[in-house]
Amino acid sequence: MTRLGDLERAVMDVLWDSVPGTSGGSTVREVADALDGRELAYTTVMTVLDRLAGKGMVQREREGRAWRYRAAASREAHIARLMLDALDLGGSRDAALVRFARSVTGTEAEVLRAALGKQAAASASGGETLTDRVEAPTADRSGRAPVADEAADR
């Protein structure tokens, strides 16, 4: 399970909040500047980004002498992966899912019903299902493939 520390989460929030498709990612300096209220050394931010790249959380691309970093998966895909990993902690997955379903609000339940309805319809018609659409990052340490990004459905 890829849990993020406080600083890693802040760095990922900067990358996740950048407008997708309008840039090729962010440099270390741009990320450091975006971390408002934190007095961090450039090398600290560079180390965090390097570690996130090692964890598969960010992708980087060389631009001259610098690197450009971007999130390897959306925030939603990361959260979904954490939820699935939590289900693997033991006990009954079914019981955990039922308990979760009972704890969501009415609006959240409607979102889940709609997503499950789309999933069932796509499966029945032989079309692409939510689990068929997988983002680019590689499998995590457990060897499990990444989670589909449901944000595209909205």
Over range 103-110, report the average pLDDT: 91
Q: Tell me the pLDDT tens digit for each residue of 85-94.
A: 888 887 888 9
Q: Tell me the pLDDT tens digit for each residue of 60-80.
A: 999 899 899 999 999 999 999
| Alpha-carbon span 46 to 88, nearest angstrom | 33
Domains of the chain and any CATH numbers: 6-71 (1.10.10.10), 75-153 (no CATH)
Count of Cβ atoms closer than 10 Å to residue 83 Cβ = 13
Contacts by 81-87 with C-beta closer than 8 Å and gap 24+? Answer: 81/2, 81/140, 81/146, 81/147, 82/1, 82/2, 82/3, 84/144, 84/147, 85/1, 85/142, 86/1
pTM over 0.75? The answer is no
- For the chain, how many residues are written? 154
Q: Is the dihedral of CA 130, 133, 139, 145 positive or negative?
A: positive
